[in-house]
Structure formats: structure tokens, C-alpha cells
Amino acid sequence: MKTVIVGITGGIAAYKSAQLVSDLMKKDLDVYVLMTEHAKEFIAPLTFASLTHHPVYGLFDTDQHGKIMHIELAKKADAFLIAPATANVIAKIVHGIADDMLTTTFLAATCPKLIAPAMNTHMYENPVTQNNLALCKQLGYRVIDSSTGLLACGDVGVGKLAELSDLMEEVEQALWSDHCLQGKRLVVTAGATQEALDPVRYLTNHSTGKMGFAIAKMAKRCGAEVTLIAAPNHLPPIKGVNYVPVVSALDMLEVVRTYQNQADIIVKAAAVADYRPKEVAQEKIKKETGTPEITLERNPDILKEISLNRPFPQVICGFAMETEHVMEHAKEKFEKKQVDFLVVNNLREEGAGFGVDSNRVSILSKDKVEDLKLMSKEEVGYELCKRFAKRLEEFSC
Ligand code: C5P
């Protein structure tokens, strides 16, 4: 189990840290909270002791073996996040001041360190603070920029604590140690395309885009430069990923073609409509004109097209969702589309399919079929990234 230290300093945003710590605990992490004396004015240490099941240690506290806790925690930590970080504490840590438990442990820790500033706009914009933040970056600390909005003091401006979901993602990224796709460019498509019938209606399917988003997230964690080409969806954006929205299969084809020359890996996780209405009515189709007959025409098979027209050796991965004769159809598809990997999911299987966070897939490649166990979509994404990295290595052999 990985250990995360959350340092909390004396700003009003300290109240948000309780939710952050609770969210981190749900990720199966061992979390310790260290607080400045001013932070304890805003929120009680008992809140964090109850959430983390560890006391909020003070300077010179020892464990039951008499070991000094600031050194023990510094050794144990896999990531150290200060959120919120006040201007005062930022100034201290960049100048090696260690006059309390938080700053002393921070100075002793050698793990990745993250700073999430939160303060009044004028304090934030003060060149002294800006210089100190620049120093943080020079020292290798990850600064998670404050956002802009209405601050507790009533001012509107920059200085709000970053979103908790961004802080979570940054911590997870810091804990992540596999950089198998470092320097590689990965393009992934996600979601269900929409094929217009008229300005109001369209044909689509049940895909939510979760699998494609999970691949984008894990590829980024593995060090890849990621472009996510997504059909309309309701998923939260992924920080640090180049997001390109599209609507129809034809839009998607055009965008994928544009990015094909800049990709080492292309993953087609989108559920692309195989057909689109031949005519798109300019005005809303009125029921008074009788039951319409809708003629469909084939959409291009994007996966097949990019796979057969690779500008240089590229890893191409397709997805197949089947409801019957799953493996038989998948093998046919693998041959027809000439991909490196085909990820097969059976819609009828429990925990797999649309809208859920888990998947149970089989991965077809040239010489094998691998049946993976039921796992989260993010874990499936990671399993794929490892295989993409291996395949790219084979190209250079
Ligand atoms: O042939 P089928 O649609 O079942 O194949 C699924 C795979 O092909 C998916 O990777 C999907 O993104 C891709 N596909 C495509 N263009 C289409 C239809 C499917 O790229 N028109």
C-alpha cells in the first residue's frame, strides 16, 4: 500500500481538505495528515485522525518504538501534497525553513512533492509569491495551479484551490511508476457517434465513452502524449490530454486522418455508427407529413482505413463488442481490419459493456488470445498500454 502525506496549512480552503483526504482513503492509500498550527484554527485535527486512522502528529512526536515521527513519515511517504498551501508555507519550503511538523517532514522527504496554492489574489500575484512558486518548480515540486473565481474574502480572481479531482489525479500520477509509453504519441477515440436525421434528431448507440477515456488516462500516466477524439459524452475532461470533440463518423474519420501522421499508437475504442441517414433533412421532420422512410448508407470503416494506410509502423488497436459467437466474429474482424490488437468484450457478460466502470475483455493479437479477468476499465487501459509498449519495441528490433 502506498503512503501519501497531505500537508494542510492555514487558509480557508483547509475545509476542502477533509473531502480530499476522504477521497484519497477510498483509493486504498495509507494517508497521513500534517497540519500547521494555523490550519488547526480552521479545522480540527480530529476530523483527519478519524478519516485516516492516524493521529495528526506534532513535531518531536515519537511512535511506540520511540522513533521520531517526522523522519519516519518522510521515509515512508510515496507522495507529499500540501493542499491548501499558503503563501507563508510556500515561502518556507523553498528556503528550507523547518520550524514545525509539516515543514520539517517536507524538508526530510525525498518522494515526489506537490504544492496546491490557495490564497487571496493579491497575495498570489505578489511577485514574492510568484518567485517562490517559480522556485518550487525549479526544485522539482509539482505546482498545481490555483484556479480563478470568487474567493472566500469576497474578491474575484486567481487563488482558488484547484479542483479536488485534479488534486487526486495529480497524486495518482505522482504515485505512478510505470513510464512505458514515455515520449510516445497515442491517439484514442471514444464514445458513440451521432448521425443526424434532421436538426433535432440523430441515430446513436449506448456507448458512454468510459473505456476510451480510461485508456487516455492510463496512457497519460504511462508517459504518453495523448489525443482523445471523442464523440458527445458526459465524462469529466482529463487534464493534460489533447481533447478533440467530434459528432459523426465522418467527422471522426477526418480528425483521425489528421492525427494519424502524428501517432505511434491509435486505439479505436469509439462505437462508430456503421450507417448514417442518406439524407439529412434541413428542417425538423414533421409528423403531419406521415411516417418517414429513412434510407441509410454505410459509414466508412475508420479502423480498417487507417490500419491499411499506415504512414509508418504504428500500433493499431480496435475494439469489438459482440452479443453472439463472440470469438468467431472477433477473429474474422481481426483478420479483416489487419490490426495489431483487437479487444473483445461480450455485451452479455456481467460487469462488461456500456456505462459500467469495469470490463472483462479478451485481447487478440497475432499469435495469441488473452482472456483477462474482470477488472476496472482503467486497469484494462493499463494492460493495453503495456502491450502497446512491447509491440513498439518489437518494431525497433
Ligand atoms: O466492425 P465493427 O464496427 O464491429 O468494429 C469495431 C471496431 O471498428 C471498433 O474499434 C470501432 O471503433 C471501429 N469502427 C470504425 N469505423 C466504423 C465502425 C467501427 O473505426 N465505421
Residues near 195 by beta carbon (within 8 Å), at least 6 away in sequence: 202, 203, 204, 248, 249, 273, 275, 276, 277, 299
What pLDDT shows up at residue 351?
79
Q: Which three cell numbers stand for residue 68?
A: 521520531
Q: Over the chain, what is the mean pLDDT? A: 95
With a cut of 80, say whether residue 289 has pLDDT above it: yes
Cα angle 10-12-18, degrees, rounded to a multiple of 5: 90
With a cut of 80, say whether residue 347 has pLDDT above it: no
Q: In what order do the strands lie in the sheet with 3-8?
A: 30-35, 3-8, 79-85, 113-117, 142-143
Tell which wins on pLDDT, 288 or 108. 108
> With helix as H, strand as E and coil as C, how does 239-301 read?
CCCEEEECCCHHHHHHHHHHHHCCCCEEEECCECCCEEECCCCCCCCCHHHCCCCCCEEECCC
Rounded to an integer, what distance in angstroms lies between the CA atom of residue 84 and that of residue 147?
A: 12
272 lines ligand 1 (CB under 6 A): yes
Which of 248, 296, 302, 331 to mutate for ligand 1's pocket (most ligand atoms within 8 Å of CB)? 302
Cβ 21 vs Cβ 6: under 8 Å: yes
What pLDDT shows up at residue 355?
79
Q: Tell me the per-residue pLDDT of 46-88, one tens digit each, with 9 for 90 and over.
A: 999 999 999 999 998 998 899 999 999 999 999 999 999 999 9
Residues near 128 by beta carbon (within 8 Å), at least 6 away in sequence: 87, 91
Rounded to an integer, what distance in angstroms lies between the CA atom of residue 98 and that of residue 394?
A: 50
Average pLDDT over residues 305-332: 94
Nearest to 317 by CA among 333, 300, 299: 333
Which of 204, 205, 299, 303 to mutate for ligand 1's pocket (most ligand atoms within 8 Å of CB)? 303
What pLDDT shows up at residue 268?
98
Q: Is 290 left (phi over 0), alpha (psi -120 to 50) or beta?
A: left
What pLDDT shows up at residue 348?
75
With a cut of 90, say whether residue 19 has pLDDT above it: yes
Average pLDDT over residues 115-141: 97
Ligand 1 centroid – CA 249 distance (Å): 10
Nearest residue (by CA) to ligand 1, atom 13, is 303
Label residue 346 by pLDDT band (50, 70, 90): confident
Percent of the chain at pLDDT exceeding 70: 100
153 is catalytic: yes
Angle of helix 69-76 versus helix 101-108 axis, rounded to 10: 50
Provide the pairing of β-strand 202-203 with 195-196.
antiparallel
Average pLDDT over residues 126-147: 97
With a cut of 90, say whether residue 220 has pLDDT above it: yes
What pLDDT shows up at residue 350?
80
Q: Tell me the per-residue pLDDT of 350-372, one tens digit each, with 9 for 90 and over.
A: 878 787 888 999 999 998 999 99
Rounded to an integer, what distance in angstroms lies between the CA atom of residue 326 and that of residue 322?
A: 5
